[in-house]
Structure 1
């Protein structure tokens, strides 16, 4: 593993980066994290990610003592040390090494790790991180209810998502559709779900066990700005399977069209194409100074292709 990682204030070779076997993040998943997308050296929607990280830490009573500016500086140092302008960054904060047992040690010194990986340029006319529309499969593993682990908290404990991904081995799908305890749509293992039903752009409400995704919020903002009705509500798997078009969102890969749901063709469409075009134009304008913008909305031939979807929804991405 090439490159340098930022561990507790020091830049170290990524292959040698480590935390203690007594670290609570390793032992219990007692840690929070954010996945960031870097375009042209800029962290896209840093304030939104920083606020969500703070909410996660507060929910765990994890007082790491670092300001948003301190964390952003560590991210910038990591990018600079690796010479990266377009990247994925994972920022993790654990409760650190405790005195033993499940009860948190109030005197523990938090562990802060920043790791970066190169990704292609984003924005208008960009190459996908990985090609192909998403194939979704509804799984039996249910989302953890808010009463157990609040859905807005991003912790290192991913067992729920791991169990869901294991179910995909049978179908070969690349993202799981997870339901809540009542059998209603919740989200993917690392993505937010969207579909068009003919009347509106639909997405599961945050009233359920759904992560308040940064990209999810960005897409809703774009849709409302384009005059597309948005319904945040309670939906069934059949609503998704019978949709006119569908897509998933993650921080790493933006808007990814859906090809099939449970083996049924769904595909992208004009709403998905419009949202992707405007989303990419925002990135181009805000992070690259509008370098590739041309015409209304900054559209380019590749931006509206259904098969130009991004990613396979790995465990580092979020919605």
Structure 2
């Protein structure tokens, strides 16, 4: 990746250190926006079309009008990855409501949103951390925003709920925050979906109460056994043979203790390990292959400004 990454901001490629957006942008003022987190592994972008589709579904739900079409956003995501020579990392397209004036009353007057695409190189868990050692989780007191308030299918930039959960997790000295719904059933983690395995059956909370994660859906497709969306209680989770989480950057990671209780054998179980291998195979075989050399002219033109 280039030393000073180039960020897409409203039609331009701009060095990250000088990229700006208006203080009157409603994403800044109110968290009024939607986003995606997309993984790049060995030069392949995994589930690119699915991520773009979800971005536009979230925007439609929020009645935000993106400034580009889905095909154009897809092309700009690829461009940002290519021009930055980002072979392993993460790219985040963000669409906000748009620029002010300030005040909730101004919302209906904003006709078009703002688009920003930010590339990142972020550290990933080693397989020793994600499998052999596993992660320690705690059930936090912060409840997942119920679907009656905000539909969890909307991947919104308004993250107050998840931030409070992460703060509680760190206070407890844990690696992962598990959030319950207001009904006392397991929902999801602060940034990940959760699965349990019991007697060979793979279970995850139903999509009407959690973000329908793209990695989550891939895992449900890849499991050869009995996989189901199901209500999960605290007892179900504590007594499970295996518990693991999924997310774009996390991929698959074992939860080996919850609230001080050891899960299974205290290391990743066979199904967790198997599904990580299958996911990585899918990423290597199905990911969109980026052609980096075709965007070198973009890098040269921006660098010469």
Q: Once the 2 structures are TM-superposed, how far is the Cα of residue 287 of structure 1 from its aligned partner?
A: 3.8
Q: Do the aligned partners of residues 129 and 200 (structure 1) sit closer, same or farther apart at CA in structure 2, a change above 3 Å counting? A: closer
TM-score (normalizing by structure 2): 0.86
Cα distance in 1 for residues equivalent to 2:261 and 2:128: 25
Match for residue 137 of structure 1?
138
Q: Once the 2 structures are TM-superposed, how far is the Cα of residue 276 of structure 1 from its aligned partner?
A: 1.1
Superposition map of 1:1-319 within 5 A? 2-103=4-105, 104-118=107-121, 133-208=134-209, 210-223=210-223, 226=224, 228-266=225-263, 267-287=267-287
Which sections of structure 1, spanning at least 5 residues, go unmatched?
290-319
Q: Once the 2 structures are TM-superposed, how far is the Cα of residue 39 of structure 1 from its aligned partner?
A: 2.2
- The more displaced of 133-142 and 262-271 is 262-271
Larger helix fraction of residues = 2
Q: Once the 2 structures are TM-superposed, how far is the Cα of residue 65 of structure 1 from its aligned partner?
A: 4.1
1:103-155 per-residue CA deviation (whole Å, 9 max, x = no partner) reads 314344421111111257x9xxx965976522110011001111211100011
- Aligned residues of 1:39 and 1:288 also touching (Cα < 8 A): no
RMSD: 2.1
Cα distance in 2 for residues equivalent to 1:237 and 1:110: 41
Cα distance in 1 for residues equivalent to 2:60 and 2:236: 36
Cα distance in 2 for residues equivalent to 1:100 and 1:189: 30
Which sections of structure 2, spanning at least 5 residues, go unmatched?
290-305
- Aligned residues of 2:180 and 2:187 also touching (Cα < 8 A): yes
TM-score (normalizing by structure 1): 0.83
Cα distance in 2 for residues equivalent to 1:214 and 1:35: 10
Q: Once the 2 structures are TM-superposed, how far is the Cα of residue 213 of structure 1 from its aligned partner?
A: 0.5
1:162-197 per-residue CA deviation (whole Å, 9 max, x = no partner) reads 111111233211111000111100000100000111
Query: For 1:153, what is the secondary structure of its paired residue?
Result: coil
Q: Do the aligned partners of residues 204 and 234 (structure 1) sit closer, same or farther apart at CA in structure 2, a change above 3 Å counting? A: same
- Aligned residues of 1:129 and 1:253 also touching (Cα < 8 A): no
1:287-307 per-residue CA deviation (whole Å, 9 max, x = no partner) reads 499xxxxxxxxxxxxxxxxxx
- Aligned residues of 2:94 and 2:116 also touching (Cα < 8 A): yes
Cα distance in 1 for residues equivalent to 2:75 and 2:83: 12
- The more displaced of 251-260 and 137-146 is 251-260
- Aligned residues of 2:45 and 2:288 also touching (Cα < 8 A): no
Q: Once the 2 structures are TM-superposed, how far is the Cα of residue 2 of structure 1 from its aligned partner?
A: 3.2
Count of equivalent residues: 281
